[in-house]
Structure 1
Amino acid sequence: PSPNLCLPFQFVLEVKHTSLWFFGCEDCRKVLTSPTGAFTTPCYPKDYPSSQSCKWTIQAPPGFIIRITFHDFELEEAPGCIYDSVKIDTGEESFTFCGVTANNLPFNSTGNIMVVSFTTDFSVQKRG
């Protein structure tokens, strides 16, 4: 493949936050390598549990980049996203979001790896 071809990782970040088994949700610390796919916060579309720490590492083949779009994004809103947040590491830059600010925003990696982290506090929960 030629350099920097975009591998269409249309990850629907219906963020399925790390699930703890006693909540009855899936684990959310995963390495994703499929050419397309989606991942969601734990318990989505129900509210995510409190005190979560999720990490999705998306890997494309060498020479490809990754594009991710949040199709349904709703986290607790706070100045500086100090309570619940999603952080996207594209390789050279990182972005942090909360509230509904990332809805339908596409992000491209600068290399063949992108990391999405989701953290929540102990109080307010939203859909993800």
Structure 2
Amino acid sequence: MNKPILFLAEDEEDTALLLKMIMEEEGYDVIHAGDGKQAQIKIDALPPPALVLLDMGLPHVHGLELLAQIRKKPTWNGVSVVMLTADGDQTHICKAIMAGASDYVLKPFKREPLLARLARFRAPGLKRRTA
């Protein structure tokens, strides 16, 4: 069985490694982009993933611009996009939701609350790791 793909756009290396580890343990294959330009290229080139985790504060291209790119791409339009942000400013969070984000997660995050928030976007047939 092919694992569902999770597309991760995150520039902070430690955060990216942690998210990659967590999501691989949850049964996803993770494709990572380390900045907004890499993310743009991968969004244009890749088939739609099961889920996107998208940092708002990426270098070169802001997360909200990437969200707009995702929502304009017919094959990616229905993909759940969860924004990652260290900025708890409600105005920015509201802009992301209004632009088509499915949800948001504030950084720093804890594993279990993160997984609880992501549970409703879980790829069909993917079982939660229990041990």
Shorter-chain TM-score bucket reads 0.3 to 0.5
Q: As a proportion of its length, which structure holds more helix?
A: 2
TM (normalized to structure 2)? 0.33
TM-score (normalizing by structure 1): 0.33
Structure with greater strand share of residues:
1
